[in-house]
Amino acid sequence: MKKQLFVAIVALFASISLSAQQQQYVVFEFIKVEPDRVLDYLEYKDFLAQVHQVSKDNGHIKGWDLWSLQSGSDLEGENFQYVTVTYYEDPVKMMDGNNVDMWVSNALEAFPDMDEEAVRKRIGDALDMRDLAVRSYMVEVARTSDDFEFKPGILASFDLMKAVEGKFQDYEKAEKEVFLPIHEKKIQADLMENWCFLRTALPTGSEAKSTHLTMNVYSDYLQFFNSMEYEDMEITEEQQEAVEEGLNSRDQKWVYLATLETVVR
């Protein structure tokens, strides 16, 4: 049954037009690590970063980030410490991203001194260290036109949203036509570095916990707090009404503040 579902999803995505396939696809994984395993997991992240570097070099992924969560309202009561973000160029590669055999092949290339048995044990032990509570498959809808380079130490807030029932299209229109220009102005004013807006790539029902996510990137805490104080003094009454309508078209479910620990580009 699971195999049939996977084949159906791949067939659906494969039918997407060429223009849609140029979009970026992203997988967010919110991770919980028991306190006595944190040091082991930190060692694992360096191993995984090298494996993902090979994956990028071989064209399987576009990039990979590991963020440590600083604060946030816990999703479904979980106390997450990390979130990984993996970038793909098409939905088929995204759906095949957790292929263990591919991981093993990439790890053997990254660590030629290890044999397959040792690699499989290393990957298995690493996966056992963490509780992967939430995995979200998403497609990028809009982003700011910047050339910011992600480096360890930068900050981001991950804002999980749920479009109000009946206002899905209204919400997406608001993010693209109302909020995107605001974030562009923030970047020009050195109050933000990068912003992107994503929707869930897999079909979801009315009971879904979230339907969209915004990722807001800052160079440091000073820029982050200055951005929180930003107020557009030139905004017109009509634009203010559009902002309020946009806010009313979605429910902000959870917000996480995170620091970038490891990046593969």
Q: What is the pLDDT of residue 168?
A: 92
Q: What is the pLDDT of residue 55?
A: 96
Which amino acid, 214? T
What's CA 262's distance to the chain center, in Å? 14
Alpha-carbon span 97 to 205, nearest angstrom: 24
DSSP 95: H
DSSP 189: T
Alpha-carbon span 171 to 158, nearest angstrom: 17
Closest CA to 258 of 176, 155, 189: 155
Tokens 């006595």 sit at which residue? 36
Output the CA torsion 257→260→264→265 (10° steps): 80
Tokens matching residue 261: 């620990």
pTM, 2 dp: 0.85
Which amino acid, 124? G
List, in order of start, the domains of the chain with CATH numbers: 18-136 (3.30.70.100), 149-257 (3.30.70.100)
pLDDT by residue for the chain (265 residues), tens only, comes to 444 444 444 444 443 433 444 689 999 999 888 878 888 788 888 898 999 999 999 999 999 999 999 865 545 555 788 999 999 999 999 999 989 899 999 999 999 999 999 999 998 887 787 777 688 999 999 999 999 999 999 999 999 999 998 999 999 999 999 999 999 999 999 999 999 999 998 765 555 678 999 999 999 999 999 998 887 767 788 888 988 999 899 988 888 999 999 999 9
Closest CA to 197 of 211, 182, 215, 179: 215
